Amino acid sequence: MNLEELTKELAVIQDEILTKIKASEAIPQLNDIKVAYLSKKGPLKDLQTKLPTLKPEEKITFGQKINAAKSTIQSAYDKRQEELHLQEVNLRKDKNWIDVTIPGKKISIGHLHPITQLRREAENIFMNMGFEIVEPRSIDTDYNVFEALNIPVGHPARDMWDTFWTTNGYIPITHTSAMQHTILKEHDLPVRAIVPGRCFRQEATDATHEHTFYQIEGVYVDKNITLSDLIGTLKTFLSAFYDRDVQLRIQPSYFPFVEPGLEIMIDCAICKGKEGYCSTCRGKRWIELVPAGPIHPNVLTMAGIDPNEYSGFAWGMGLDRLVMIKYGIEDLRWFHSGDLRFLQQF
Ligand code: FA5
């Protein structure tokens, strides 16, 4: 082959390589092209082997042409490599793209049940009044639930607290009064304690009765305690709890462990005593809220306390009812419903 033919051949090979470099779509493909055309077994090397057939000055000319072609090819390779690299980076950016301006997703973390919130509030008020908090047992003996409260076996008052029994004779506590005997027996006098706890009863449930509900028992024993101490304590607590000057009215009731038995009523803050029907007090203007009374001498005696030296009072308020009145809730079954539309309001 003469110089002219070799030059033509070189131009064809160069065009072919440049076209392939331009058309390459990824760096590995580009590298393959480079290896195929510029390696020792490539077409350029082939042309170089034909140099000896040329005259000396043609050798120089063709050598220069080959070098120029190599340099052109290298530049095209470098340029394409840069383009493909950029293309790949942009593609990755698109895939992992994060819009940092999107507002975050709100994680809902829930909150305390309204009964728990207000139980804590009630505990704080009583603690500020000098009461200690005693936890009740969830199941207890017949002795603590009934007998030590002056309700022996066969006493008709047991029917007031129709309850569940375990197969081995224990009682899921029917009222927090079940802790009265333990408190009176185990605490030094004077004693001021509250017992916030969960109670269980065999009930046909309705808007004001559940099989599971909460009570806050109160026990106060000291020398010279009178009914006015009971009234003063409850008025102070209820006024703080409802954040207003609560008015009390007292009517007789019956519980074997207090004498006399009382039902403390509060004025209805919903209708404020006005004419017309009110769903909270049912038009009575007064709401029965706290059963209470001076502790019966038999209960003190059974706990080893001399009723001639000491006297005291107790109450057992329904916490669910306290909360219902505070928030104007008409049906206590909402509390156990687990319905977020209800719970999220508190
Ligand atoms: C008692 O349980 C007495 N141990 C209270 C007591 C204590 C009186 C100390 C005297 C001295 P009673 O069964 O009435 O009493 O219940 C007290 C309160 O618990 C009621 O006023 C009511 O608010 C609440 N309660 C009773 N049963 C239910 C129920 N099934 N569902 C929701 N709340 C209830």
Q: Is 299 a catalytic residue?
A: no
Structure tokens at 214: 């909460």
Which residue, judged by its Cα, is nearest atom 26 of ligand 1? 318
114-343 carries CATH number 3.30.930.10 = yes
Structure tokens at 182: 């333990």
Q: Is 201 a catalytic residue?
A: yes
Q: Is 315 a catalytic residue?
A: no
- Beta bridge pairs of residue 171: 140
From ligand 1's centre to the CA of 317, what distance in Å?
6
Atom of ligand 1 nearest to the CA of 176: 4
Among 119, 201, 296, 321, the active-site one is 201
Q: At what angle do helices 56-95 and 27-38 cross, to 10 degrees?
A: 170
Ligand 1 pocket list (CB less than 6 A): 175, 177, 201, 203, 209-210, 213, 215, 217, 255, 258, 291-293, 314-316, 318, 320-321, 332
Atom of ligand 1 nearest to the CA of 177: 4
Q: Which of 198, 230, 216 is nearest to 295 (CA)?
A: 230
In a structure prediction context, what are the per-residue pLDDT tens digits for the chain, which is 346 residues long?
788 889 999 999 999 999 999 999 999 999 999 888 878 888 888 888 888 888 888 888 988 999 899 899 999 999 999 999 999 888 888 888 888 898 988 888 889 999 999 999 999 999 999 999 999 999 999 999 999 999 999 999 888 887 899 999 999 999 999 999 999 999 999 999 999 999 999 988 898 899 999 999 999 999 999 999 999 999 999 999 999 999 999 999 999 999 999 999 999 888 887 877 887 788 888 999 999 999 999 999 999 999 999 999 999 999 999 999 999 898 999 999 999 999 999 9
Q: Is 111 a catalytic residue?
A: no
From ligand 1's centre to the CA of 251, what distance in Å?
16
**262 vs 227: CA distance, rounded Å:** 10
Q: What type of residue sits at position 180?
A: Q
From ligand 1's centre to the CA of 302, what distance in Å?
23
Site to probe by mutation for ligand 1, drawn from 159, 184, 215 as the one with most ligand atoms within 8 Å of Cβ, is 215
Among 191, 215, 221, 321, the active-site one is 215
**10 vs 246: CA distance, rounded Å:** 108
From ligand 1's centre to the CA of 86, what distance in Å?
77
Q: Pick left, alpha or beta for residue 293 (phi over 0 → left; psi -120 to 50 → alpha; otherwise beta).
A: left
Residue 259 marked in a binding site: yes
What residue segments make up the domains of the chain, in order of their start? 3-95, 114-343
